[in-house]
Amino acid sequence: MSRLPALSGLAGIVLLDVAWFWDPAAPFTDDRGIAAWYATHGDAQWLGAAAVTILAAPFLWIFAAVLRDRLAAGGAPRGLQLLTAGAGRAFALTVLVFGLLYAAIPLSRTFTVVGAPSGAVSRFWDGAVFGEYIVAATLSVVVLVGAVGVAAFRRQGIPLGLGIAGVPLAVAVLATFFLPMAGITLWFVAASVTLAATGRPSRAAVVPQPVPATA
């Protein structure tokens, strides 16, 4: 049971992938194609994908805490612990904000009588939402992979194998602009499964120092 929290990273990234590839949002086509899409599609699936995206954020936040605890148990410096937790939480917040912004158009259509946005508005909004996610996710996950890699090579609570695997995976994360979920997904799956399989390292025993006798 003590290893289950490490699987929060796997749960979070699976939920995010399901929502990402479900993707019932309007396409990036010309005005006529966008108008036709809105005329034949409702908002339920769109809102469902946004809800699944938002649901992924708490699991990713928990995983950031798991990484911090593993580093603390391995004797990593406080600064490295904070950097790792901060980067992990930044990614979780990026996912949360992405889910909320992603839901904006279907929510607007649900609570107003305006109907479908124009093609220009639809393309602009969706482009901004996806662009925000891609930039923020890439930066936060690259920092996270780097911090975890440093801890792994120092043997400070993270298996060395994860640090080695993190080198090519960091390159894949940098390719997020071309393959938006590939590198991020692979790293979170590898990190979550590895930490769950290895378990939390035991803290080194503290040997009490003898107190010199007073005269």
pLDDT in tens, the chain (215 residues): 567 899 999 999 999 999 998 877 888 888 888 888 888 887 888 899 999 999 999 999 999 999 999 999 999 999 999 999 999 999 999 999 999 999 998 888 888 766 788 888 889 998 899 999 999 999 999 999 999 999 999 999 999 999 999 999 999 999 988 888 999 999 999 999 999 998 766 554 333 445 455 54
The structure tokens listed for 49 are 């994908």
The structure tokens listed for 55 are 């649901």
Please, are residues 143 and 58 in contact by the beta-carbon 8 Å criterion?
no
| Angle made by CA atoms 52, 141, 5, in degrees to the nearest 5 | 60
pLDDT score, position 108? 86
Helices (H), 112-159: 119-153
What is 162-215 written as a DSSP string?
A: HHHHHHHHHHHHHGGGTSTTHHHHHHHHHHHHHHHHH-PPPPPPPPPPPPPPP-
Q: Answer positive or negative: Cα dihedral of 71, 77, 78, 82.
A: negative
CA nearest 69: which of 57, 82, 60, 59? 82
pLDDT score, position 36? 87
pLDDT score, position 215? 44
The structure tokens listed for 173 are 């994360």
Element (H, E) at 22: helix 8-22
Q: Considering the entire predicted model, what is its pTM?
A: 0.87
CA nearest 9: which of 59, 68, 52? 59
pLDDT score, position 209? 43
pLDDT score, position 50? 93
